[in-house]
Structure 1
Amino acid sequence: MVNNVLAFRRPEPEPPGSWGMPALQLAVELKVLRGLRTQSDVRKACKIPISGSVYSRIERGEIRIDKPHVIEVLLEALGVPKGPRRQRLLELAEAASKPGWAKRFLQPDSVPETMLRLTALEDCAVRQIVIEPNVVSGVLQTPAYRELITHETLLRSQRTHADRVIEVRGERAQRFEQRRWVHSTFVLQRGALYADFGRPEVMVEQLRALLRMVDDERMPVMIRVAPQAMLLRLQAATLIRLSFPQADFAAPDVIYVDTAGRSEFYRGFAEGEPPSDEYLDYQELVDGIIKTAPGLRESREEIVAALRRYGVQAP
């Protein structure tokens, strides 16, 4: 990355079944192909009507391409001739139509669409930074802690769907465990190690699990425990930055932000694109926290100290 601009390189296609990354790749390609033309100009050239909101969301990589033929119409309007490049883009559109594993959990008012996109992107990431100051990060949670935290932290309007949410979070954790090669950094504040919600035995089990992860050299996972003052600038309950493999089609980083139940995605930008102020703000925030957060040894000591506080001796 030079001057906060991602080099326009093209990554390999993701494994089938998760629409998130191919939708992101396709979004960047469509944005570059459009150039200085407006979306309205392209829509006027389309042979079938395409709504402005749909086109805008496709170009931001926000939605699954449930009708891949729409992309062929867009490519025709953009003047992309038949050949290998156009065929490759159509293959991306087909891949971006796959609903992904979390689709089966979707019910009205239960698992939001933003979670479907997050799980689809997680499946393709090769690097992630997760900052979740108030609780232990979701994919690191033990089953008992996951159930406790879900019931304690869900908004009142969502509590009737707690069991569904717990299922999704459990599946995310299992899939993360299976993908041990994903380089991950998790940052939480010290207070999260003591927030037992009246169930200290659950917190002890969770702390022991964290300690095992810290000490497991086979896992490319770093857990960093930061003092509260370091995370004061972070207003979000969860902030995740995902990076993807780079080879054939551009897949810029994506930053996911969840604040009081409202979730947003901000994608990075390819070379030549104007930068997004929101993305740059969160990128700067993430980089600053990672730069100053305590390292492995200090963080391990924090976990051990928390266990001692609960009367448990750790190695």
Structure 2
Amino acid sequence: MSLWGRGLGVIALLILLLISCEEDTSVLGFIKGNKFQVRYVEIDVPTSVMLADSLFAYNTPDVPESKRILVGNYLDDQFGPMRALAFTQFRPYNTAPSIPVDAVFDSLYITLTFDHYTYGSLTPSINFFNIHELTDTLYTSNLYYTNSTSSYDPSPLGSGFYAIDPLLFKENQDSSRIDTLRIGLSRTYGAKLFKYAKDSSEVISNFQLFSEVFRGFAILPETTDDRIVGITPENNLSSKWSRVSMYYTFDDGTGQIRRSRIDFTIYLVDNVTGALGYTNFTVDRSTSILAPMTVPYEEFLPPMIFAMSSREVPL
């Protein structure tokens, strides 16, 4: 082909390209007007509010939403003051620990992993967590609700606090960030637990006996707290680290002092494995617009309508 012919071919190709790239605005949208006819009708729907029964509140693995215990205080403008207390057993992972004869008790801690759920003030502040020994035994054969309660020793085994930024917690809900609080517990209580473990007592190998001697813990907030926070009782050794840890020291035979630990779970894997926990709620509606609502399942017509959309904070 001649150079002249090739030039004409290139020019023709460029013309076609320009024509094909030209925007035809006539095909944008609906050519013959809106094909949809939108109409609406306003319908009045009669509504009322009723006081329902208490909610199921213990951390069964059958209900994913219940893998949470809640602790805190909050004065809600609409519903009045509310308080959440957590109760939990703990149970040895290893029911036959091998502890050296010369081992000496060192310390006992409870680690709580936050699941980044909060209800209450959005202003960063400190939440307090007081650990008390349960004096009531929890049983997996029992059902525990938001109005259930268990007795505990008024003197705390240990206390801790955590600076919480609710907005940062919200950002961390879908991230890999881990927020944990580690609280040291009573040495007397820890030494008692260590003695049973070191002596290979049946109390350690038989959870029914263990739960009668070491009933578990109540986790209480301070009255100055201004939010309720969620704690996951799970321990998967990666992102959830809630557990009780007992440390001890021993001579390794070379004159070196080593430190080791025994872990205990606070999570109920199933009805025969793990440890039971639940949350108790109290809400004082006496100063709220819901104060006249005192009889369950009786129609009540407040100036506002409220809907519970989850199992977190029952109102």
TM-score (norm 2): 0.19
Structure with greater strand percent: 2
Greater length-normalized contact order (CA 8 Å, ≥ 6 residues apart): 2
Q: Return the index of the structure with the highest Cα Rg.
A: 2
What TM-score do the two structures reach when normalised by structure 1? Answer: 0.19
More helix by share: 1
